[in-house]
Amino acid sequence: MTNHKKIAILGSTGSIGTQTLEVIAQYPDRFKATVLIAGTRVDTLIQQALQFRPEWAIIADATQYRKLSEVLEPLGIRTAAGQEAINDSMMFDCFDTVVTATVGYSGLTPTLRAIQAGKKIALANKETLVVAGDIVCKALSESRSTMLPVDSEHSAIYQCLVGEDSDRVRQVLITASGGPFRTLTAEQISKVTVKDALHHPNWNMGAKITIDSATMLNKAFEIIEARWLFDLKPDKIKPIVHPQSIVHSMVEFTDGAIKAQLGIPDMKLPIRYALGETFRLDAPQEHLDFSKYPTLTFEEPDETRFPCITLAKYALTRGGNTACVINAANEIAVKAFLNEKIKFTQIYPVISDTLSRIPFIATPSYEDYVACNEEARSAATEITEKYSQRQ
Ligand code: MG
């Protein structure tokens, strides 16, 4: 047991969380899940704890605590509940790596705590860097903590940059599937349903990121994420639509050479690479058959039909709390769309209206980000209600 890498999973019952547990189960001599943290899905968390026998199982939703503790405590698995308990758990000695697989803004505070505690971060929660990339990078530079990306594009970029000088990078080409509405007209996009938007062509993911892929805000977020992860000038990161999702991203160097990382669209690949800390684990079952992909295509993203993609440039040029506002407004807008309160094409207007209402802060502190997130969420809630009444 002593040589196992001990892993905490923040968001163990979501899409990345369950796939991380699949990877852990594939390498029982190498990895051990010692802390499992979930939001509300107590039954799944209990099942996972029974299978993986962590030291701790923690649930954000405190109303579910009794059920969790009654089943797990008699088995010697310790339990806790609530956001404070989650934040505090990031300092536990019983793990060295945390996979941040939670969705949205909620990843920020626990990730900062884990960085301060010197943990290795396998970053799947891109919003942490979108919301507050400057203070997260500062915390990383002041700690022995390290961060490896789990996002497939960023894992690809990381792999392309191994052994290269960062000042020899001409540009990073971040690929995008284009989502389920890539070939629809603006008129057709204005009529799409929740069911249409939840049907992603290549990736099976959680609901929130699937909607973000459909609006292409996910790609805007990934540009911001890449800017912080790789300390790149914003104008060096270019999105390119690649509907087959086989090329996970590319890096072009100053001599014109381009390196790419390819593979089947499967999140377990970047999860393995991050958990192995760039050591390439054997995965004999994973195999890209090129004969099934005779054509790989590339095209420019369409900013008219997918205006959310333009928010990356706006956020990075304006800086400060801009991306924090965009993220908060988007979380509210996506929820409203999923609840059928607003139309798909109203997600972007909710974000831009919210941006116009929230005062700009050039160099926000952690407390400023927390307050700005709250303020932007309530402004976005008001705006979505206004839109929903008009329907
Ligand atoms: Mg991605």
| pLDDT tens track for 322-332 | 999 999 999 99
Return d(Cα 292, Cα 49) in angstroms, integer. Answer: 38
**CA 79, chain centre distance (Å):** 26
Q: Output the CA 355–ligand 1 centroid distance in Å.
A: 24
- Overall average pLDDT of the 96-105 stretch: 96
Distance 73 CA to ligand 1 centre (A): 37
Phi, psi dihedral angles at 251 (to 5 degrees): -130, 130
What distance in angstroms lies between residue 126's CA and the mean position of ligand 1's atoms? 9
d(CA 298, CA 106): 34
pLDDT at 285: 77
Does the pLDDT value for residue 1 go beyond 60?
A: no
Q: Is 60 exceeded by the pLDDT of residue 214? A: yes
Q: How far is the CA of 209 from the centre of ligand 1 (A)?
A: 9
Quick one: pLDDT band at residue 2, thresholds 50, 70, 90? low
Percent of the chain with pLDDT over 70: 99
Residue 14, C-beta contacts closer than 8 angstroms, at least 6 positions apart: 39, 101, 102, 103, 206
**Tokens representing residue 246 in the block:** 């086989």
CA of 391 to the centre of ligand 1 (A): 33
Residue-range domains of the chain with CATH: 5-149 (3.40.50.720), 152-309 (no CATH), 319-391 (1.10.1740.10)
Q: Give residue 32 CA to ligand 1 midpoint distance, Å.
A: 26
